[in-house]
Amino acid sequence: MMNPPPRRPPPPLWPLSCARLARLPCSGLPALAALRARPDIRVGVAGETAWISWDPADSARDEVVEALLPVPGAVFFRQGEEDGRWYRIGSRLPDLDARFPVNLDDDGEFPLRAEAGAAPALPLHRVLVPGPIRWEPPSGAWEPVRLRLERDDRPRPASALLATAGALLPWAESAPTARLGALRAARSGDRVLVFGRRLPPIPGAGRLWGHRVLIPLGMRAEPALPEPRLAEALGLADDQLALIGPDARIERLPSRVLVPLSRQAARRMAGISPADRLANGSADDPGGRA
């Protein structure tokens, strides 16, 4: 009795990572919306059926396969290495109905090598386009909101302080010239607003945070808007600052009134003139630290 010839091992079942062609209903094309920028994705439409082809992925993940897997009716195909035919994933027989999208020639015609029934290939962004933008009126009634300050435990760096001119002067008289020049200041009555990074350590001075809208430390504006939107809501011009007090009272000032701080400027803010200093017998020393 003759032994039967050994059976040939079955060919492997190719995984989805080998897929280069997919068939799905045209209604499933929106699943590829996030991939509209990929130029390698080509679409051929035949009636209610869309054929999708794409280039091999550079990584183990294939974005096209992941996007189309949830689409009902989506079927994936691989191309045979020896015969070039298209095989449905999981099948060992070629699928004669597979239609690979074919690029048209310069005259808009199919090339001679195109198979019968082939669908013209179009880039995905020409097949899948965003819907029209529709304007809708705001829903609900708009009501004005009163600006107020609320407690806030978030740590913030101080960018300005508010002190009296008399409290600022002793520190300005002994501070280094370079540190004074890094600050800007403006006076309104007896109050002095000092703006900068390294603020003077003046006891009792109110410290504020912000750049264009200055708010006391430990407080925040309510409603909690970003500073650009808050400045817009307050009607600030591009060259204006807003100072919000603890009682939510708003003061506006042009940014040009902030001038570099110096000892002479601090003395003028405190109401001390050069004649007063000469009368008191004091004068600037050669080092500029009078």
Residue with tokens 């003028």: 268
* Beta partners for residue 151, in sequence order: 219
Identify which of 201, 231, 204, 206 has the alpha carbon closest to the alpha carbon of residue 217: 206
Identify which of 169, 165, 189, 196 has the alpha carbon closest to the alpha carbon of residue 251: 189
Two tokens, residue 87: 């095989």
Question: Between these two residues, 62 and 108, which has the higher pLDDT value?
Answer: 62
Report residue 281's pLDDT band, with 50, 70 and 90 as the boundaries. low
| Cα separation values, 15 from 19, 68, 206, Å | 8, 15, 69
8 pLDDT exceeds 60? no
Identity of residue 100? F
Q: What is the pLDDT of residues 158-170, one digit of tens each?
A: 999 999 999 999 9
By DSSP bridging, strand 240-244 and strand 250-254 are antiparallel
The enclosing H or E element of 267 equals: helix 263-269
Residue with tokens 């925040």: 220
DSSP assignment letter at 63: H
Q: What is the pLDDT of residue 122?
A: 87
| Spatial separation of the C-alpha atoms in residues 150 and 136, rounded to whole Å | 34
Q: What is the pLDDT of residue 290?
A: 37
Q: What is the pLDDT of residue 110?
A: 41
Q: What is the pLDDT of residue 279?
A: 56
| Residues 64 and 22 sit within 8 Å (Cβ to Cβ) | yes
Q: Distance from CA of residue 245 to its chain's centroid?
A: 32
| Cα separation values, 228 from 121, 235, 250, Å | 48, 11, 16
Omega within 30 of 0 (cis) for the link into 223 = yes
| Residues 20 and 78 sit within 8 Å (Cβ to Cβ) | yes
| Spatial separation of the C-alpha atoms in residues 72 and 233, rounded to whole Å | 50
| Residues 78 and 86 sit within 8 Å (Cβ to Cβ) | yes
Q: What is the pLDDT of residues 53-89, one digit of tens each?
A: 998 877 667 889 999 999 999 999 998 888 888 899 8
289 pLDDT exceeds 60? no
Report residue 22's pLDDT band, with 50, 70 and 90 as the boundaries. very high
Two tokens, residue 229: 């939107």
Two tokens, residue 40: 């390698």
Average pLDDT over all residues of the chain: 83
271 pLDDT exceeds 90? no
In sign, the C-alpha dihedral spanning 262, 263, 264, 270 is: positive
Domain range summary for the chain, segments of one domain joined by +: 16-127, 148-274
45 pLDDT exceeds 70? yes
Q: What is the pLDDT of residue 14?
A: 53
Least confidently predicted of 19-28, 106-115, 143-152, 273-282:
106-115
Strands (E), 47-158: 49-53, 75-79, 86-88, 122-123, 148-151
What average pLDDT does this structure show over 193-218? 92
What average pLDDT does this structure show over 82-99? 85
32 pLDDT exceeds 50? yes
| Cα separation values, 226 from 160, 207, 220, Å | 19, 20, 11
274 pLDDT exceeds 70? no
Q: What is the pLDDT of residue 111?
A: 45
What average pLDDT does this structure show over 259-272? 90
Percent of the chain with pLDDT over 70: 82
What average pLDDT does this structure show over 20-45? 91
Residues 6+ away with beta carbon under 8 Å from 287: none
